[in-house]
Amino acid sequence: MRAQEVLEALKEKLGDKLRSPELKVEEIGHRRIRERGFLWAEIEREDLLEAVRALKELGPLHISIISGADVGEKIELIYHFAVGYGTPDGEVMVNLRLTVPKDDPVVPSICSVLPGALTTEREKIEFLGVEFSGIPDARKIFLPDDLEAHPWRKDEPELSQYVRYTVAWEAKKDERGEARA
């Protein structure tokens, strides 16, 4: 599948719910030149499930990961999908960007459409403090059960104290006479 086709199909299905889509096509290879396409777009959280369903209709759908960051007042999540595996050079990366305010960090869970996303959603809950509505299992996955902090949030008082502590201790290595590794 060509990246252009994916973009057009998505535009047709989602209309203007797909905000500021941006297509990046590169050429790869030396003897045989192939195209590879990245599609970046923004989307509102209400339209997320619809967009994932639309992607699933386009071809075999794989979710690589949801990456996220604390960007000041808001939390940004990026869903990295790969559409169309199974045909040589047929995969297109579709990256959907989603921002949610910190006082209401609720995002619909996409596990009903793509159950494989559960691991990465659980990770986002504990690391960024977002909530997923309709997630089948919201327990902690990688962090200790009794840790209240969210390590990727930059406004966490408890965690920043831990971090300052560790960083300060690391910095005092020379004073303690340890060789830097």
Partner 1 sequence: MKEVRLEPEEMSEKKLEKTCPTCFEVPIGPIHPALKEGIRFTFWVEGEKIKKVDIRPGFMHRGIEFMGTKRNLVQLIYLAERICGICSVSHPLALVQAVEEAAGIEVPPRAQYIRVIIGELERIHSHLLWAGVAAHELGFDTLLHYVWKVREPVLDLLEDITGNRIDYAIPIYGGVRRDIPPEKYPKLKDALRYYRSLVDDFVNFFLRDPSIEARTRDVGILTREEADVLCAVGPTARASGLRKDVRQDWPYFTYPDLEVKALTPEDMGLEVRGDVYDRIVVRLLEVVQSIQIIERCLEEMPEGEITSVPKVAALLAQLKKAEGEGIGRHEAPRGEVIHYIRLEADKEAPVVWKVKAPTYSNFMPWFPMFEDQEIADIPIVAASIDPCICCMERVYLVRGEREEVVWKEELLRLSREKTKRVASRLARHAPWGRKG
- Positions touching partner 1 (CB under 8 A) are 28-36, 38, 40, 60, 62-65, 67-69, 78, 80, 82, 84-91, 93, 95, 111, 114-120, 136-137, 140-144, 146-147, 151-152, 165-167, 169
**Minimum separation from the CB atom of position 50 to partner 1 (A):** 18
Q: Regarding beta strands 131-133 and 106-108, do their DSSP bridges make them parallel or antiparallel, or are they unpaired?
A: parallel
Tokens standing for 59?
């071809």
d(CA 97, CA 99) in angstroms, rounded, equals 7
**Minimum separation from the CB atom of position 18 to partner 1 (A):** 18
| Residue linked to tokens 């303690």 | 176
Contact between 36 and 28 (Cβ < 8 Å): yes
**Minimum separation from the CB atom of position 59 to partner 1 (A):** 11
Give residue 148's Cα distance to chain centre. 22
Closest to partner 1 by CB, 10 or 114: 114
**Residue 6 phi, psi (nearest 5):** -60, -45
Closest to partner 1 by CB, 12 or 87: 87
67 closest CA partner among 58, 76, 59: 76
Closest to partner 1 by CB, 9 or 93: 93
**Minimum separation from the CB atom of position 15 to partner 1 (A):** 25
Closest to partner 1 by CB, 12 or 154: 154
166 in helix, strand or coil? helix
**Minimum separation from the CB atom of position 147 to partner 1 (A):** 7
Closest to partner 1 by CB, 28 or 106: 28
